[in-house]
Structure 1
Amino acid sequence: MEDAALDVLPAEGLDVSDPAIFAQNLQGPIFERLRREDPVHYCSKSPYGPYWSVTRYKDIVEVDSNHGVFSSAGATSLDEVRAKGVGDDATPIGGFLNMDPPGHDTQRKIVTPALAPSNLVKFQDLIRARARGVLGTLPIGEEFDWAKTVSVELTMLMLATLLGFPSEGRLRLKRWSDIIAGVPGDGVVDSWEQRDQELKEMARTFLMLRDERRAQEPASDLISIMAHSPEGQALSDMEFASNVSLLIVGGNDTTRNSMSATVMSFHDNPEEWAKLKANPAMIDSAVSEIIRCHTPIMAQGRRATQDYELGGKTIRKGDKVMMWYISGNRKGSGKR
């Protein structure tokens, strides 16, 4: 695998979706090589079929912003089976993420008020109190699992609050997020049938909460907002559940991964930790830098709706295109 980053690029292209690349921490030199030599790179063979890898910032922005040529519909995940499920009755995931404008914009606006900075700032005292509470219980002089004890616990507490989900059941949110992001055989579920059964349980749970919220006065949690907004009321049961699945993953994976990446980054770079301690005013910029350096969403896909020239390559109608944010955020990617 290491040779893939150093030798001549194989004729069939590099499958940069190979989990072994990330398990061995080889993604850095591989993406650097692609940005330098073949920034719009075609892989003809992968477990998910052929696809293009777009690795430079300016090319990613071009694909990401051109909805007329590059469609999100059923294409945001490289593994489309994971997104759609198996069988006619499978529970789809991803909600408005898998839609193009104007439908995407209409459904996204349902949850925008709850996630706006003006609303989130209302939670800052609660977030600080919970952070102090979790950190205050950590053992001193003993090893512990930071991801499980801190990152997961804090994330689940706040995600349950934002959704309006019972706090005592918050680990169910983590379970559902892991199922949504996973496939059979990865240690979470054993079969597609089990995966779909648990996703249907998730859907039933949130549809019940939706119906409860509709019978109550509007509140500021996401379920209440979706239950009372005209656009949310127009959603089918399946659309509602699919959008909730997006909120669960979006609120879980990104936050908990960024928390863990923060600790790892400062452990690996103690001089940067010393600078931050000496000047806490740098916290805002430190958070942005952590998210750039350890991109919580590594990639998203699109499907070409027509032939298109990008980076000197011809992408054909129907081709799958993966935008590797984890590469576009790096030095040398042409980031502006």
Structure 2
Amino acid sequence: MANPDYIPRHNEEFVFNYDPNEDPAKVDLKTLDMSRGERFRDNKFEPLFERMRKEDPVHYCPDSLNGPYWSITKFNDIMAVDTNHRQFSSEPSIVLFDPEEDFPLPMFIAMDSPKHDVQRKTVSPIVAPNHLALLEPVIRERAGKLLDSVPRGEVFNWVDKISIELTTQMLATLFDFPWEDRRKLTRWSDVATAAPGQGVVESDEQRRAELMECLQYFMNLWQERAAAPPRNDLISMLAHGDSTKNMPSQEFLGNLILLIVGGNDTTRNSISGSVYALNKFPDQYAKLKANPALVPNLVSETIRWQTPLAYMRRTALEDVEIRGKTIRKGDKVVMWYVSGNRDDEVIREPNKFDIERENVRHHLSFGFGIHRCVGNRLGEMQLRIVWEEILKRFDKIEVMDEPRRVYSSFVKGYEYLPVRVAA
């Protein structure tokens, strides 16, 4: 699940002209490429998606680092594509670039039925209701300890101190990963989705090398779990599953990256996004403090408003017409969840953060159809528990400055969020 922003595989001569001060109303939609990380890093994407929804909701980008592609930007169109598994395939990739021939990373989210179904079924017991019930007191205890450890009256980075640490602890539990090495999971998640030269890895060669270290570490765990009786952790499930126990090493690595990124990036950016959103909409923060029973609504509204994964890609299996545009067999089709979640024909006042919103669970962030996020209930539970524990402890978490955002059009998240809790 690597970042689509950096490998000019299809067009070595492609030049991306980007002006951070550009007027969205004057951008030429005919050549607009929304797949570049700069617009997301600089938080310049929403006015452009608003134009696309109104003027060209099924948009063709003729040229990008990874070739031409279609953008689907409206809520109902996205849902229609996401649930149409006959005409739209998740293979060979859910991001814009296709797998590298010499470094493929197959993963079940980028597979169609039936292989997708049996691999997903192998790991789904980890997030079954009975297992979530066992995890809840563990998450609550850890969240409480982390929140009790924050410095009072001092500015600190909420992303690293709370969001990353809490989700990394959860990942370590799901994998039964050595506790003292848990931050390796954070690193591998960042490496898997990072663009070289943007502060995480310097080159694609470094990225590959670190992912191979990830594979070797987990192969050792795999061998230990395969030799022992089945246990209730993800590695043991994969090592003993009929459809996964003989998977090639690159497929194991691909599924590891899927589980690490899916269990880490999404939840951590929702946790950070909730703090940021409540500071941007202080009336909603006041409502939450006055009525903590609104926490479940806060969770769903955060996941819509934040949209931690901005898009998913499909590939057309045949010619398909949408809104009068003909998408040809083999064309890349990008479902921009981040745009559909702002579609005012479906969501009332979509740019507003509203924790009393009607039908608040009706959003695109988890996807639809067979690929709907397998860990959605776990992510919601973590975010709910964090806020239940915050409200017990703090009058307010104050955001001191604008966040530093991730350079990616795929992972929509935060690197740095300076906050202060009153002494």
Q: TM-score higher than 0.5 here?
A: yes
Q: Which residue of 1 aligns with 2:52?
A: 34
Is the counterpart of residue 132 in structure 1 residue 150 in structure 2? Answer: no
Q: Which residue of 2 aligns with 1:328?
A: 340
Q: Which residue of 2 aligns with 1:122?
A: 134
**Amino acid of the structure 2 residue aligned with 1:245:** I
Query: Among 56, 67, 91, which residue is 2:85 paired with?
Result: 67
Measured after TM superposition, the shift of residue 215 of structure 1 is: 1.8
Q: Which residue of 1 aligns with 2:250?
A: 238
Distance 2:228 2:36 in 1: 48
Post-superposition Cα deviations, 1:81-115, rounded to whole Å, max 9, x if no partner, equal xxx34x62x2x335111111111111111111112
Distance 1:94 1:258 in 2: 26
Question: For 1:153-164, what aligned pairs fall within 5 Å after superposition?
Answer: 153-164=165-176
Distance 1:10 1:247 in 2: 36
Query: Among 262, 265, 269, which residue is 2:274 paired with?
Result: 262
Distance 1:246 1:23 in 2: 23
Measured after TM superposition, the shift of residue 7 of structure 1 is: 2.5
CA distance 1:94–1:129, change in 2 (3 Å): farther
Measured after TM superposition, the shift of residue 45 of structure 1 is: 1.6
Where 2:96 maps in the other structure, the secondary structure is: coil
Say if 1:304 and 1:316, in contact at 8 Å, map to a contact too: yes
Measured after TM superposition, the shift of residue 4 of structure 1 is: 5.3
Q: Which residue of 2 aligns with 1:228?
A: 240
Say if 1:114 and 1:221, in contact at 8 Å, map to a contact too: yes
Question: For 1:193-212, what aligned pairs fall within 5 Å after superposition?
Answer: 193-212=205-224
Say if 2:75 and 2:343, in contact at 8 Å, map to a contact too: no
Q: Which residue of 1 aligns with 2:30?
A: 11
Query: Among 181, 189, 208, which residue is 1:177 paired with?
Result: 189
| Identical-pair percentage | 48
Distance 2:157 2:132 in 1: 28
Distance 1:228 1:19 in 2: 39
Count of paired positions: 329
CA distance 1:257–1:241, change in 2 (3 Å): same
**Amino acid of the structure 2 residue aligned with 1:45:** D
Distance 1:47 1:71 in 2: 21
Measured after TM superposition, the shift of residue 333 of structure 1 is: 4.9
Say if 2:318 and 2:328, in contact at 8 Å, map to a contact too: yes
Q: Which residue of 1 aligns with 2:41?
A: 23
CA distance 1:94–1:28, change in 2 (3 Å): farther
Is the counterpart of residue 147 in structure 1 residue 166 in structure 2? Answer: no
**Amino acid of the structure 2 residue aligned with 1:165:** F
Give the TM-score, by structure 1 length: 0.93
Query: Among 61, 70, 75, which residue is 1:57 paired with?
Result: 75
Distance 1:334 1:268 in 2: 23
CA distance 1:315–1:34, change in 2 (3 Å): same
Give the TM-score, by structure 2 length: 0.75
**Amino acid of the structure 2 residue aligned with 1:124:** E
Where 2:326 maps in the other structure, the secondary structure is: strand
Unaligned runs of 5+ in 1: none
Query: Among 253, 259, 275, which residue is 1:247 paired with?
Result: 259
Distance 1:4 1:40 in 2: 22
Measured after TM superposition, the shift of residue 11 of structure 1 is: 2.9
Query: Among 229, 238, 242, which residue is 1:217 paired with?
Result: 229
Say if 1:51 and 1:319, in contact at 8 Å, map to a contact too: yes
Q: Which residue of 2 aligns with 1:167?
A: 179
Post-superposition Cα deviations, 1:162-187, rounded to whole Å, max 9, x if no partner, equal 11111111110011111111232222
Greater per-residue helix proportion: 1
Distance 2:300 2:283 in 1: 18
Measured after TM superposition, the shift of residue 5 of structure 1 is: 2.2
Measured after TM superposition, the shift of residue 239 of structure 1 is: 1.9
Query: Among 283, 294, 302, which residue is 1:271 paired with?
Result: 283
Where 1:322 maps in the other structure, the secondary structure is: strand
Where 1:301 maps in the other structure, the secondary structure is: strand
Measured after TM superposition, the shift of residue 304 of structure 1 is: 1.0
Distance 1:160 1:75 in 2: 27
Where 2:30 maps in the other structure, the secondary structure is: coil
